[in-house]
Amino acid sequence: MDTFGLLAAGFAAALQWQNLIYAFIGVTLGTAVGVLPGIGPALTVALLLPVTYRLDPAGSLIMFAGIYYGGMYGGSTTSILLNTPGESASIVTALEGNKMARKGRGGPALATAAIGSFVAGLIATLAMAFVAPWLVRIAISFGPADYFALMVLAFVTVSAAFGDSALRGVTALFIGLGLGVIGIDLQTGQARLAFGIPDLLDGIEVTTLAVALFAIGETLVIAAAGNLDDEVVAVKGSIWMTLEDWKRSWPAWLRGTFIGFPIGAMPAGGAEIGTFFSYAAERRLTKHPEEFGEGAIEGVAGPEAANNASAAGTLMPLLTLGLPTTATAAIMLAGFQQFGLQPGPLLFANNASLVWALIASLLVANFMLLVLNLPLIGLWVRLLTIPKPWLYSGILLFATLGTLGANGAMSGSLGPIRFSFELMMLLGFGILGYVLRRFGYPIAPVVIGLILGPLAEQQLRRALAISQGDPSVLVHSPLAIGLYVIAAAAVLVPLYFRLRGKGEVFSQLAADED
């Protein structure tokens, strides 16, 4: 079947009424949680994963698609009205959007963000639908050595290339890789670093780690920083965009989409770079340069479109190569794994109907978000004003709920008291997340290291088993060599700029949250 036929079949599945309900619940929950201050898309997806445990794979992934896009949208609402971007991808949106909101143009800012996200999501998801099968055909011919090189590239770009210190980025990655070794080695059945604790034999759950680092770590940081109350800017005046707004927005949406999608789709980390490029492009092309920094609508429209386009783009390496390049994608990979599905070229071959239902649901969710968000803006604004004590109590409550729901075995004991070992790990990793944040370590590399480390090891050992231990197999294919060259460039170029004192640019590109 060609792409059109497969997509049509996907829509037939996605438009079944129960799947529509799943998508609706997904976008609503995703927006509601994503809009809360301090919660980025990665944490939104991690917190809501347990909701999907009891559904069938298709329903669960469809709800997941809604949560993903809803979380992305919610994040932009927060940064426009609150000026405390929950994630690095929204920093640029906050730059102009918050200024617009302060000038009483919060409505049009939210509208251009919502419509821009819709346009970008639509184009980027369709682009993914047409490019992905082509990429799958190439990926089928990849050998283990090529996959290993791809993963090395992802490791390098996620940890070393961006952010303000390569040392701390790589350290964060190695913490993740080290955690990934824990458990039974799949090829020999040997326990590694389990210290005789049965709970560790299955390895460390990605969701437990992500929820702990993002939710508990963040809560501790906010609590320790003292009570700084953020000011929520009320939405005044009309929420509709004027004709002038439309004229200035639509080229920015399209440019943002075409900048964001390829960057997200590349098998390398740092998806929010697209928003910075888009902002720079809008700034250069605008007819109203005096408005930039004071609330220029292009400065919201472009980056928001770029943000959503790269979010859709991120799904491409995830679905076709099984390669997560953001923390959010890493958690989605964990979501697939809970159903025994391993994303990659074989998923397209063996579970085509599932993959295409997912892609169709992304389009459906995108449409629902457009219809849902603008009329409900008053509700989202109210969520922003939840007092911090209740907000963070709620975040911790749901963090522990999700962990208990995933693995509620009371397997630990302290004297007569039985407790959940998984919750204890949640607490431990939460404290780790607090320390990492306090000392300026990025979080995303830890999560990606945990999920991608075992996959990289598997490919490495497979490659070396085929070559009977000859390590030169790793650089036999031109593809692998090319990937290593790009990886080396990704480390050396920023290093060069940093040594010349121009590190600021790269520290702005820090991939902190997702």
Partner 1 sequence: MTSGSNPQRRPDGAALVIALIMAGIAAIIFWQTSIMRLPVHQARVGPQVFPYAIATGLFLLALGTAVSAWRGSFPARPRENYGPVLWIVGGLLGQILLVSSLGFSLASGVLVACTAKAFGRGPMWFSFLCGAVFAFIVWFIFARGLQLSLPAGPLERLIP
CA dist 373 and 204 (Å) reads 36
Please give the residues from 394 up to 423 whose contact with partner 1 meets the rule CB under 8 A. Answer: 394, 396-398, 400-401, 404-405, 408, 410, 414, 417-420, 423
- For residues 204 and 445, give the distance between their C-alpha atoms in angstroms, rounded to a whole number: 15
339 binds partner 1 (CB under 8 A): no
What are the backbone angles phi and psi of residue 412, rounded to the nearest 5°? -95, 160
Question: Should residue 216 be labelled a site residue for partner 1 when binding is judged by CB under 8 A?
Answer: yes
Span near partner 1 by CB under 8 A; candidates 100-108, 299-307, 424-432, 482-490: 424-432
Looking at the Cβ atoms of 394 and 482, the one nearer to partner 1 is 394
Distance CA 293, CA 95 (A): 7
285: number of Cβ within 10 Å: 13
Three-class secondary structure of residue 407 per DSSP: coil
Of 3-11, 255-263, 281-289, 433-441: span binding partner 1 (CB under 8 A): 433-441
Tell me the longest C-alpha to C-alpha distance in the chain: 72
207 makes contact with partner 1 (CB under 8 A): no
DSSP state of 476: -
DSSP classification of residue 82: H
Residue selected from 2, 243, 287, 390 as contacting partner 1 according to rule CB under 8 A: 390
Report 26-45 residues binding partner 1 (CB under 8 A): none
Q: Which is nearer to partner 1, 138 or 223 (CB)?
A: 223
Residues 6 or more apart from 214 whose CB is under 8 A from it? 39, 40, 42, 43, 46, 327, 433, 443, 513
HEC assignment per residue over 302-316:
HHHHHHHHHHHHHHH
Task: Tell me if 496 contacts partner 1 by CB under 8 A.
Answer: no
**In this chain, which of 68, 253, 348, 434 binds partner 1, going by CB under 8 A?**
434
Over its C-alpha atoms, the chain yields an Rg (Å, rounded) of: 22
Interface positions, 116-155, toward partner 1 (CB under 8 A): none
| Binders of partner 1 in range 248-287 (CB under 8 A) | none
- At its nearest, how many Å lie between partner 1 and the CB of residue 2? 38
In this complex, which beta carbon is closest to partner 1, that of residue 25 or of residue 111? 25
Q: Per CB under 8 A, does 499 bind partner 1?
A: no
- Residue selected from 50, 75, 260, 445 as contacting partner 1 according to rule CB under 8 A: 50
Parallel/antiparallel/unpaired status of strands 183-184 and 191-192:
antiparallel
Taking the least distance from each CB to partner 1, the nearer of 55 and 280 is 55
Residue in the structure block whose two tokens are 């210190």: 165
Q: Which stretch binds partner 1 (CB under 8 A): 69-77, 202-210, 295-303, 502-510?
A: 502-510
How far CA 410 is from CA of 28, 315, 320, 332, 406, in Å, comes to 33, 36, 38, 27, 12
- With tokens 């919060």, the residue in question is 106
Cβ proximity to partner 1, 469 vs 478, nearer residue: 469
Place of tokens 């821009």: 116
Binding-residue total with partner 1 (CB under 8 A)? 72
Which residues, listed in sequence order, are joined to residue 68 by a DSSP beta bridge?
Answer: none
Least gap, CB of 16 to partner 1 (angstroms): 20
Q: Please, which of residues 52-91 interact with partner 1 by CB under 8 A?
A: 53-54
Binding map of partner 1 across residues 342-371, x = CB under 8 A, - = no contact: ------------------------------
Span of 269-277, 280-288, 323-331, 431-439 interacting with partner 1 by CB under 8 A: 431-439
Asked if residue 104 binds partner 1 (CB under 8 A), the reply is no
Q: Does 238 bind partner 1 (CB under 8 A)?
A: no
Q: Which stretch binds partner 1 (CB under 8 A): 114-122, 317-325, 368-376, 438-446?
A: 438-446
Contact characters 175-204, partner 1, x per CB under 8 A: --xx--x---x-xx-x-xx-x---------
The Cα–Cα gap between 374 and 102 comes to 19
- Could you identify the residue written with the tokens 């005789």? 196
Burial label for 210, CB within 10 Å (0-12, 13-18, 19+), is: buried
Residue whose C-alpha is closest to residue 462's, from 202, 205, 186, 206 = 186
x-or-dash string of contact with partner 1, 451-470, rule CB under 8 A: --x---x--xx--xx--xx-
Which lies closer to partner 1 via its Cβ, residue 226 or residue 375? 226
- Residue from 30, 41, 57, 430 in contact with partner 1 (CB under 8 A): 430
**Structure token digits, residue 454:** 């075992």
Q: Which residue, 124 or 160, has its beta carbon nearer to partner 1?
A: 160
Strand partners, 442: none
Q: Which is nearer to partner 1, 103 or 461 (CB)?
A: 461
Contact 204, 450 (CB under 8 A): yes
Backbone dihedral angles phi then psi of residue 280, each to the nearest 5 degrees: -60, -40
- Entry field: residues in the chain: 514
Q: For the CB of residue 195, give the shortest distance to partner 1 in the complex, in Å.
A: 7
